[in-house]
A and B are shown apart, each in its own frame.
Chain A
Amino acid sequence: MSEMSAMTKKMIQNLAEKLCKQAKHFNKTEAECLIRLFNELLEGQTEKRVGLGLDRGKFRNILHNTFGLTDDMIMDRVFRSFDSDNDSYISVKEWVEGLSVFLRGTLDEKIKYCFEVYDLNGDGYISREEMFHMLKNSLIRQPTEEEPDEGIKDLVEIILKKMDYDHDSRLSYSEFEKSVREENLLLEAFGTCLPDAKRTLEFEQHAFQ
């Protein structure tokens, strides 16, 4: 902890300069603000190995409270997506780079990000099972329904019919990309994984004030 909080102004500035080159959507001042915010967030963290960055629980809290995400599984996947070195902690670099797409990503970047989130096992395809898994809570269960999962299965079939161009019962990245380019609304087809405009604005106002 002492290591991070002891970061001098100079160090933050240098770091920000480095990061804002990697994360294209923030300028130097904005990157600085995000680094400071990251440090503030770390201070609340009680865990010893603070040097590694934000842990999963802390990050999920931010996703939920600040960005309005609700689905546990999706939030887990978003964490994985941010955590590019797979060490189960979000480092300051991962934080700034992740937010760059998360808040200000271009459509291309967002398509890539969303596909990564939805490809649960990381095999490069969103399979029928993965879809079912992500959509299983998307319909209100009718008490009268004999087969409550029937609707979900049907919904998955509808999506495959719409997006699975090569009929191999799974979505490749290119299929997903093509569908989203045709209809932007499908970007978050399998669950909300990006903040809405209002939350984005609120966060930026708070962070960059």
Chain B
Amino acid sequence: MGVALSRQAQRTTDRQEDAPLNEALLRDIVRFVEQVDSRYTEEAQLVFDEPLLWTTNLQASDFGTEYELSGSSVHSRETDGDGRPLLQLTPPVISVRSFSQLSKLLHLNNDSKTEGSATNRDPVKKILGRSFAMMDGEDPSALLLLNTVNEDGQSRETELKVKLFLILQQLDRQLLNSSVPQLSQKVRLSPAVVKCDVEMLKSVCGAGEKRPLKSVRYTSDHEYSNGCRSPPWRQEFGEIAGLIIEPCDTEPLSVTCSIYGFYLNMPIKQEGEENVKTRELYKDLLTLLKSKSPHFAESINKQHTLDVCVGVFVCVCLCVCVYSKSPGGGTGAEDFSESSSKSEEDEEQSERRGESRTDLPSEYWEIQKLVKYLKVGNQTATVIALCCIRDFNLAQETCQLAIRDGGGLEVLINLLDTDEVKCKIGSLKILKEISCSSQIRQAIADLRGLQTMVSILDSPDKELKCLAAETIANVAKFRRARRTVRQYGGIKRLVELLNCVPDSATLSAEQEKDVEVARCGALALWSCSKSTRNKEAIRKAGGIPLLARLLKSPQKNMLIPVVGTLQECASESSYRIAIQTEGMIKDLVKNLNCDNQELQMHCASAIFKCAEDKRTRDLVRQYKGLQPLVSLLSQTDNKQLLAAATGAIWKCSISMENVAKFEEFKTLEILLSLLTAQPEEVLVNVVGALGECAQRSANRIAIGKSGGIPRLVSLLRETNQALLVNVTRAVGACATEPDNMVIIDHLDGVRLLWSLLRKPDPDVQASAAWAICPCIENVKDAGEMVRSFMGGLKLIVDLLKSTNKEVLASVCAVISRIAKDKENLAIITEHGVMPMLANLTNTVNDKLRRHLAEAISHCCMWGNNHVAFGEERAVAPLVRYLRSKDPSVHQATALALYQLSRDPNNCITMHESGVVQPLIVMMGSTDEVLQEAAAGCVRNIRLLALANDKAKHFT
């Protein structure tokens, strides 16, 4: 139906110029609205769920005594239940919330005659416009709501809404009957209209006896950007798309849609566009099909689809306003079956289900019977039925479907809204179990079950709280559900559940219940904490200190959800800091020693995430957490545990003190043994840890001696980015030992590293480039090796175009190494390395500055490169590097300036940039290299000045 509506919208908006017709239409609507107050008094009082808004020329002075004026704004005395006025004008925007007000407004306009029909038309147009807009976005849900009205409590309000709906629908039919003939006369089709028609037909296709059509499909699946599907040379003749339609009673029809209309393709292909005119043209697909397929015509008329198709745009749009929210907590449910094509779909579904009913097991029917008693039973019968449903194996899909198909989910969720504690408990016990199915979870969320469960968390009954929290824990496995929990204040309530006193040795019965409540709360928070905004909400609700307190609990079933939540939240830096400052590291380490693998895994995983921070790494060492981490490495069967433990070891080994400890526990050997036959998530961490350990020379040698290098080099052929980043780091670290370098070279490892420079991921590029540096330094005949890589030098120079600072710095570092070989320096100069380096000099990134200056100083060694740098204006920016706070930048810069100062023009530029002052300071540095370079540079400048003086004296 939504399709038909948007089509209608399309037509109307497409043809704004059809003024007379539109005006007639609007006149009719206006007349209707004006009469509504007197003809349908009660219905007219009904308050819209959302106001109609439009801009108007009306002024405050136009309003009479029934309205309250304040300045230029006006609001009505009549208000809705919440005290909001039914009409409100804040020029130029006016909002109206009921039909009676709308009608009064129109009367008002007529009386004053100031605005005349112009204003009258205006609001209605806006109503339509707004409705169309709503149709686009909210169509499916709107229709769903239309299909559902209260089943049990058929309140007065609901009745009124139904009446209003019917009245509006009647009006709409009248309007359409009068306007459709006119509308369809001069239609020129557009691709959008065709699309709508096809979608609409598709929706009535299907299996079964009553279906009007077998199938509808396009001849071409490709849709051009203009919305047409015909090839461009056919589009010239006005064709839009080709269709194959299979009616039930005739041969498949091949139909062409063109801007002139729809026509049947002739069995024998004819040529040329004039055929279009000789064929019988139809204004729309329905007419065509009706004339070709009697079965279609019959079934479509029977089902009132035509009415629906041609659109009930006004009524639906207004009803969306009325229905967009069902009253109170109750769910809506009455059928508007005759008026909506949606119900046809439902029927079809139930028919389809009917076909497969024969293979359903007896449990299915027994459960459905019990669900029936749930619906018609009083509290006693309901409790009996609930208990009996629980006797079935609810983890089984058949049983879950039986509950859902019988409408049981709705009843179960409605029971949560009652005052009967026993019914609520019974219902939640079932919901808790069936929510292990993702379909059921979705359905519970759709039925607004989460909202009710969140409110149950306030109940004084502890068992009820527990069950609600546990069910939330199960349902909140997907993002929308987690958001709902947050939006309805669930996070705050769940955090409140955590407030209990678990640490006293002996607990009273009541305290034990409190602990259980806290455990269930933690379970729910664990599920919810998978969304970033929920993590923040937990923190804001004061959850962190409560979690820290529960972390001291001796019970494992409490610790698992608590640590699970913490490790989930540790992705946020605020939590990482809190875990450290609230003293949770100690408890996490303590639980690494427990005998429960799940708990150990979560603890290790939390340490993994937190140990990015140095203080945390130190704390893990202080609390003697390193040894238990290493002993976890023996759990090679539990890959999740292994991944968490290796991850924690990796991050902890960033501190060299920890690496020393790890050496004591012979960690390196174990890590090396884990390099084979492990899943990627373990490998990434193992290699990461090896990379960190290899920062110490002893470990590097050990890796080489125990034969770890070939395995590492072979990992360079993997594709996982995180793994590649770690492997390159590890290989690079190993390459600093000449003995290892021989093995790497032998395995052609440098070529593998070099080929990684071609990967699109900048992290991999940078890491590979860093690893290449020690390789070039330590391999024999480095120049020859580098030259042997086809296109390798061009590749490295091209990487200077990267926008990633880390890549640039690493590539500069590689270039300085390459440039030590004169032949290679000549080649990269050919490839234009000079202007590219010069281009980068304006950076403020100290790491890049250092390596860039280094690269420049090495590149100056060839030919007139030092002159070229001056011409590329690289000198003045370099001088500014001397003001950097990083001493390592100073050394590299001074060296580069010394090289550049061999050219008199560069000396002038340097002098003008004020180089002398900082250089003189650096000459006093304790760093001899820096001293020497600074002095050399000053000397060159001074020599030039002297020569200049001399020249002056001669002239």
- How far apart are A185's CB and chain B's nearest CB, in angstroms? 5
CA distance A200 to B380 in the complex (A): 19
Is A105 an interface residue when CB atoms closer than 8 A count as contact? no
Q: Within residues 23 to 43 of chain A, which ones have a CB less than 8 A from any CB in chain B? A: none
- B388, A138: Cβ atoms closer than 8 Å: no
CA distance A185 to B380 in the complex (A): 10
**Which residues on A sit within 8 Å (CB–CB) of B426?**
185
- A139, B373: Cβ atoms closer than 8 Å: yes
Nearest to B391 among chain A residues (CB) is A162
**Which residues on B sit within 8 Å (CB–CB) of A138?**
377-378, 380-381
- A135, B386: Cβ atoms closer than 8 Å: no
- A142, B379: Cβ atoms closer than 8 Å: no
- A139, B387: Cβ atoms closer than 8 Å: no
- How far apart are B422's CB and chain A's nearest CB, in angstroms? 6
**Which residues on B sit within 8 Å (CB–CB) of A154?**
369
CA distance A117 to B461 in the complex (A): 26
Partner of B390, one of A151, A183, A191, A192: A183
Is B383 an interface residue when CB atoms closer than 8 A count as contact? yes
- B373, A185: Cβ atoms closer than 8 Å: no
Is B425 an interface residue when CB atoms closer than 8 A count as contact? yes
- B376, A142: Cβ atoms closer than 8 Å: yes
- How many A residues are at the interface, by size bracket? 20 to 34
Is B384 an interface residue when CB atoms closer than 8 A count as contact? yes
Q: Within residues 174 to 209 of chain A, which ones have a CB less than 8 A from any CB in chain B? A: 183, 185-186, 188-192, 196-197
Is B328 an interface residue when CB atoms closer than 8 A count as contact? no
- A185, B386: Cβ atoms closer than 8 Å: yes
Is A155 an interface residue when CB atoms closer than 8 A count as contact? yes
- How far apart are B929's CB and chain A's nearest CB, in angstroms? 82
- A162, B388: Cβ atoms closer than 8 Å: yes
- B381, A139: Cβ atoms closer than 8 Å: yes
**Which residues on A sit within 8 Å (CB–CB) of B378?**
137-140
- How far apart are A106's CB and chain B's nearest CB, in angstroms? 11
- B381, A196: Cβ atoms closer than 8 Å: no
**Which residues on A sit within 8 Å (CB–CB) of B377?**
138-140, 155
**Which residues on B sit within 8 Å (CB–CB) of A4?**
none
Q: Within residues 116 to 169 of chain A, which ones have a CB less than 8 A from any CB in chain B? A: 135, 137-140, 142, 151, 154-155, 158-159, 162
**Which residues on B sit within 8 Å (CB–CB) of A190?**
380
Nearest to B461 among chain A residues (CB) is A197
- 0/1 interface trace, chain B 451-483, chain A, CB 8 Å (1 if under): 000000000110000000000000000000000
CA distance A192 to B461 in the complex (A): 18
Report the interface size for chain B: residues with CB under 8 A from the other chain: 23
Nearest to A145 among chain B residues (CB) is B376
Nearest to A186 among chain B residues (CB) is B387
CA distance A52 to B342 in the complex (A): 69
Is B548 an interface residue when CB atoms closer than 8 A count as contact? no
**Which residues on A sit within 8 Å (CB–CB) of B257?**
none
Nearest to A74 among chain B residues (CB) is B380
- A197, B370: Cβ atoms closer than 8 Å: no
Nearest to A183 among chain B residues (CB) is B387
Partner of A155, one of B379, B381, B425: B381
Is B421 an interface residue when CB atoms closer than 8 A count as contact? yes
CA distance A83 to B881 in the complex (A): 100
Nearest to B390 among chain A residues (CB) is A183
CA distance A22 to B461 in the complex (A): 29
CA distance A154 to B385 in the complex (A): 11
- B422, A185: Cβ atoms closer than 8 Å: yes
The binding surface of chain B is classed by DSSP as: helix
**Which residues on A sit within 8 Å (CB–CB) of B385?**
155, 158
- How far apart are A17's CB and chain B's nearest CB, in angstroms? 27
CA distance A189 to B422 in the complex (A): 11
- How far apart are A199's CB and chain B's nearest CB, in angstroms? 11
- 0/1 interface trace, chain B 547-580, chain A, CB 8 Å (1 if under): 0000000000000000000000000000000000
- B384, A189: Cβ atoms closer than 8 Å: yes
- A191, B380: Cβ atoms closer than 8 Å: yes
- A197, B421: Cβ atoms closer than 8 Å: yes
CA distance A190 to B378 in the complex (A): 11
Nearest to A156 among chain B residues (CB) is B384
- B376, A188: Cβ atoms closer than 8 Å: no
CA distance A128 to B425 in the complex (A): 27
Partner of A196, one of B370, B390, B421: B421
- How far apart are B287's CB and chain A's nearest CB, in angstroms? 43
Nearest to B426 among chain A residues (CB) is A185
- B380, A192: Cβ atoms closer than 8 Å: yes
Partner of B425, one of A151, A185, A188: A185
Nearest to A179 among chain B residues (CB) is B387
- B373, A162: Cβ atoms closer than 8 Å: no
- B421, A159: Cβ atoms closer than 8 Å: no
Partner of B380, one of A158, A183, A188: A188
Q: Within residues 5 to 59 of chain A, which ones have a CB less than 8 A from any CB in chain B? A: none
**Which residues on A sit within 8 Å (CB–CB) of B386?**
185
**Which residues on A sit within 8 Å (CB–CB) of B370?**
158
- How far apart are B947's CB and chain A's nearest CB, in angstroms? 103
- 0/1 interface trace, chain B 207-229, chain A, CB 8 Å (1 if under): 00000000000000000000000
Nearest to A137 among chain B residues (CB) is B378
CA distance A140 to B379 in the complex (A): 11
Nearest to B366 among chain A residues (CB) is A158
CA distance A197 to B421 in the complex (A): 9
- How far apart are B379's CB and chain A's nearest CB, in angstroms? 7
CA distance A188 to B378 in the complex (A): 13
**Which residues on A sit within 8 Å (CB–CB) of B387?**
162, 183, 185-186, 189
CA distance A186 to B421 in the complex (A): 13
Nearest to A134 among chain B residues (CB) is B380
CA distance A46 to B105 in the complex (A): 67
Partner of A158, one of B384, B425, B461: B384
**Which residues on B sit within 8 Å (CB–CB) of A151?**
373, 376
**Which residues on A sit within 8 Å (CB–CB) of B390?**
183
CA distance A186 to B425 in the complex (A): 12
- 0/1 interface trace, chain A 64-102, chain B, CB 8 Å (1 if under): 000000000000000000000000000000000000000
Asked whether A135 and B421 contact (CB < 8 A) given A155-B373, A186-B387, the answer is no
CA distance A155 to B376 in the complex (A): 12
CA distance A183 to B869 in the complex (A): 87
CA distance A162 to B386 in the complex (A): 12
Interface hub of A135, A139, A151 (most chain B Cβ within 10 A): A139
CA distance A144 to B265 in the complex (A): 55
CA distance A154 to B388 in the complex (A): 13
Nearest to B375 among chain A residues (CB) is A140
CA distance A183 to B463 in the complex (A): 13
CA distance A135 to B380 in the complex (A): 8
CA distance A162 to B461 in the complex (A): 27
**Which residues on B sit within 8 Å (CB–CB) of A137?**
378
CA distance A174 to B384 in the complex (A): 19
- B421, A155: Cβ atoms closer than 8 Å: no
- 0/1 interface trace, chain B 834-867, chain A, CB 8 Å (1 if under): 0000000000000000000000000000000000
Q: Within residues 373 to 424 of chain B, which ones have a CB less than 8 A from any CB in chain A? A: 373, 376-381, 383-388, 390-391, 421-422
CA distance A186 to B383 in the complex (A): 7
CA distance A137 to B381 in the complex (A): 9
- B422, A155: Cβ atoms closer than 8 Å: no
CA distance A175 to B462 in the complex (A): 28
**Which residues on B sit within 8 Å (CB–CB) of A196?**
421
**Which residues on A sit within 8 Å (CB–CB) of B391?**
162
CB-CB nearest 5 A-B residue pairs: A138-B381, A140-B376, A138-B378, A138-B380, A139-B376
Question: What are 15 A-to-B residue pairs whose CB atoms are below 8 Å?
Answer: A140-B376, A140-B377, A155-B381, A155-B385, A158-B370, A158-B384, A158-B388, A159-B384, A185-B383, A185-B386, A185-B387, A185-B426, A186-B384, A189-B383, A192-B380
Given contacts A158-B370, A162-B388, 14 further A-B contacts (CB under 8 A): A138-B380, A140-B377, A151-B373, A151-B376, A155-B373, A158-B384, A158-B388, A183-B387, A185-B422, A185-B426, A188-B383, A189-B383, A192-B380, A196-B421
Chain A positions within 8 Å of B, measured between CB atoms, are 135, 137-140, 142, 151, 154-155, 158-159, 162, 183, 185-186, 188-192, 196-197
Chain B positions within 8 Å of A, measured between CB atoms, are 369-370, 373, 376-381, 383-388, 390-391, 421-422, 425-426, 460-461
